[in-house]
Amino acid sequence: MRAAVYTGASTVSVEEVPTPQIGPGELLIRVESCGICHTDLKKIEYNLLAPPRIFGHETAGIVAATGPGVRGFSTGDRVIVFHHIPCLECFYCRHKLYAQCPVYKKVGVTAGYEPAGGGFSEYVRVMDWIVRRGVEKIPEGVSFDRACFVEPLNTCLKGVVQLAPQADDVVVILGQGPIGLLFSMLVQRSGAAIVATDGMPHRRELAQRFGAAAAFDPADPNVLERVLEMTGGRGADSVIVAASAPGIVAQAIRYSRPGSRMLLFAQTSHQERIEISGADVCVAERVIFGSYSASVDLQKQSADLVFSGAVPVEDLISHRFPLNDIRTGIDLALHPEPKSLKIIVRPQRWS
């Protein structure tokens, strides 16, 4: 089969590799659509993991083969696949901190080499513990492109559930890329008023289309003025930091009121450092917390939101590329054009 192989030095090349062999309890999935995620982009661009690997984890496709003992799935089923699933038994699982579970940290989907998701290939092998809890069937009439949003939407829904915005809240969302816009779509369902920021005009327009009361360039001094106007001079009740940039967390502090809640979603690099006043947290009684990856508890709900069209995720797709053009897709995701957003790779199309 053909696959986009990360070979080190920020290089990805399309190569012929062996089609994965499956064992008992496993599935072989023919990949139809796989979204490009910034988590994978960081690993490629900054060479965070040893090569060779095949990345891609926002995967939707068709069951091509089933291993002995598989129940509930048959050849021809249309499915989406989560690449992380927890054990549900360890200390962290009992405390619902699934992303900290040792089993969760293992990647259970591969196209070969060290498991890394594998969705940037024609076929992936889904390991047994993922098959048992991490595969959802796609209803008829739902495109593979739409379906591959289930995993990223789950990660955003997890953060929103932890943030728990109320109907009379004002929530500032910093960053309106594909993830920030998913946050806007989800937060507006709570009834909270949203103030969004992004440096790209098209993304600000979409933020308002998807429910933001206002959208500003982050350099615009009117952001704080509008937030204070909407909150009787207090500041935002919650802030979601959906982008990574120097000083962005300090900016979030400025927009928020004492006692507010602040979700750090994009701060995934060990090299990133945050400097804020201790008193802004302690004396002002702010709560700052992180949310990372997906929750198995929200798997069905996130699938329903995507499959039903309740959250219009397909409106975020700006480009679709065949497998041979994946480098173009990666470069575009790393250096967005004025109207580029979510980029989908279609491995069954080579050109």
Task: Answer whether residue 328 is part of any domain.
Answer: yes
Residue 48 and residue 101 share a domain: yes
**Tokens representing 78?**
């249309």
Find the domain containing 244 and state its range: 154-290
Contact 18, 112 (CB under 8 A): yes
Is residue 183 helix, strand or coil? helix
Q: The domain spanning residue 30 has which CATH number?
A: 3.90.180.10
Domain count along the chain? 2
- Does 163 lie in the same domain as 132? no
Judge if 177 and 120 occupy the same domain. Answer: no
Does residue 209 sit in the same domain as residue 334?
Answer: no
pLDDT at position 351 is 65
What is the spatial distance between Cα 96 and Cα 320, in angstroms, rounded to a whole number? 36
Residue linked to tokens 């579970």? 101
- Residue 239's beta-bridge partner residues? 172, 262
Are both 271 and 332 inside the same structural domain? no
Does 297 fall in a domain?
no
144 in the same domain as 32: yes
Q: Is residue 306 part of a domain?
A: no
Strand, helix or coil for residue 135: strand
The yes-or-no verdict on residue 17 having pLDDT over 80 is: yes
Are 168 and 248 contained in the same domain?
A: yes
Q: How confident is the model at residue 284 (pLDDT cuts 50, 70, 90)?
A: very high
Give me the pLDDT at residue 239, please.
98
Q: Is residue 183 part of a domain?
A: yes
Q: What is the rounded CA–CA span in Å between residue 249 and residue 281?
A: 12
Model confidence at 269, pLDDT cuts 50, 70, 90, reads confident
CA 191 from chain centre, in angstroms, equals 23
- Residues in a beta bridge with 170: 193
Looking at residue 268, its pLDDT comes to: 86
pLDDT for res 10 = 94
Residue 61 corresponds to which tokens in the numbers above? Answer: 């496709």
- 3-state SS, residue 303: helix
Residues 6+ apart with CB under 8 A from 262: 238, 239, 240, 241, 249, 252, 253, 256, 286, 287, 288, 289
Classify residue 48: in a domain, yes or no: yes
Among the listed residues 80, 113, 246, the one whose alpha carbon sits nearest the alpha carbon of residue 174: 246
Q: Considering the domain boundaries, does residue 298 fall inside one? A: no
Contact between residue 159 and residue 175 where contact means Cβ atoms under 8 Å apart: no
Element (H, E) at 226: helix 222-230
Residue 40 and residue 117 in one domain: yes
pLDDT of residue 290: 97
Q: What does the pLDDT look like over 289-321, one tens digit per residue?
A: 999 999 999 999 999 999 999 999 999 999 999
The answer to whether residues 144 and 158 belong to one domain is no
Please say if the pLDDT value at position 50 is more than 80: yes
Residue 179: what pLDDT? 98
141-199: per-residue pLDDT in tens? 999 999 999 999 999 999 999 999 999 999 999 999 999 999 999 999 999 999 999 99
CB of 34 within 8 A of CB of 137? no
Neighbours of 50 (CB within 10 A): 10
Residue 67 in domain: yes
Listed residue (281, 342, 278) closest to 315, CA to CA: 342
Q: What percent of the chain has pLDDT over 70?
A: 99
Residues 76 and 158 both lie in one domain = no
Model confidence at 244: pLDDT above 80: yes
End-to-end CA distance of the chain: 15
pLDDT one-digit tens code per residue, 92-141: 999 999 999 999 999 999 999 999 999 999 999 999 999 999 999 999 99
Helix (H/G/I), strand (E/B), else coil: 211: coil
Q: What CATH code is carried by the domain that includes residue 218?
A: 3.40.50.720
- Say if residue 135 is in the same domain as residue 169: no
- For range 322-349, the mean pLDDT: 96
- Whether the Cβ atoms of residue 275 and residue 198 lie closer than 8 Å to each other: no
Cα separation, 214 vs 157, whole angstroms? 22
Task: Inform me whether the pLDDT recorded for 264 exceeds 70.
Answer: yes
28: β partners: 65, 125
d(CA 235, CA 131): 45
Tell me the pLDDT of the chain averaged across its residues: 97
Same domain, 213 and 321: no
Q: Is residue 104 part of a domain?
A: yes
